[in-house]
Structure 1
């Protein structure tokens, strides 16, 4: 009798083990079928999440005072040819008088013109990311947060003409370089 009890117990354990592994095998076999169905359902959810990340609403800029308007009138509007065959485009901001837009590569910054005590014109990014310096014969665009130049030796046609006129007068000591 003990032998038949051992035999019965062994059969029960083997059956239980087979049922357990069969359940795992069944779950594993059905899992891949469930996963592909889940991927298409989750992929549109990710795509739908991107449009929700709209840019923050534009904060209205303060009205330009007389000093800013004067500085804006001194800003060279147009294309600046820069080092390494790059260019910067400066244009009047269409929404706010006394502000300019500076475009470099795929970046665009709204800038507030400010005259410095040295005579240089500073175009200060309203978001505090960049700064464009305009001096007599060249300009440069800087990333002030990183502390490095984005592009240098940018020359507007007015700066080139001023430099040529100064060289013609023999004023090479006042070139601003």
Structure 2
């Protein structure tokens, strides 16, 4: 896939993250905006007194498609994604130095998106790879993470590439 097409695709996937961050900042009170964003949840599970939003049918359908288990990432890193046994639709994402409690968010692109809004973490699952991003700092925390199904899809893309995002046929060239 050409780099420009990949950049366009990633910018489309990431853009809802930035707009949601700005929208959530606008809704917060001035006192909340002065406090620093909390870091990732440490090894303990969140207290049950915490308000938990029940999942709708769309979110539960997304949760059913999430690849779970130990996922190897680039540079020898690994993450572990597991379902919260007590709350259907919620997941724990563990890695070296972090643990997030994620929930599905509906997207228009078809990508699977899990968020921990408190920590500003976003997990994006595409057909061929997954990545973890920090919305607050605007950087990737883990990239090229892949479940066995994603690895197989990536291999099939090499032998049978998808059509180009920017079709240049019929443009007088």
> Alpha-carbon deviations, 1:128-148, whole Å to 9, x = none?
421111111111111111111
Distance 1:167 1:174, change over 3 A: farther
- Does the alignment pair 1:65 with 2:56? yes
Query: How many aligned residue pairs are there?
Result: 120
- Bigger radius of gyration: 1
Could you tell me which residue of structure 1 aligns to residue 138 of structure 2?
147
Normalised by the size of structure 2, how large is the TM-score? 0.62
Cα distance in 1 for residues equivalent to 2:125 and 2:145: 9
> Alpha-carbon deviations, 1:62-82, whole Å to 9, x = none?
111101100100100112111
User: Where does structure 1 lack aligned partners over 5 or more consecutive residues?
Assistant: 1-54
User: Where does structure 2 lack aligned partners over 5 or more consecutive residues?
Assistant: 1-44, 166-173
Q: Which has the higher contact order (CA 8 A, sep 6+)?
A: 2
Alignment of structure 1 residues 1-177 onto 2, 5 Å: 57-58=47-48, 59-168=50-159, 170-173=160-163
> Alpha-carbon deviations, 1:122-177, whole Å to 9, x = none?
11114242111111111111111111111111111110112223434x234479xx
Normalised by the size of structure 1, how large is the TM-score? 0.61
Q: Which runs of 4+ in 1 moved over 6 A?
A: none
Comparing both structures, which one devotes a greater share of its residues to helix?
A: 1
Contact 2:100–2:119 (Cα < 8 Å) also in 1: no
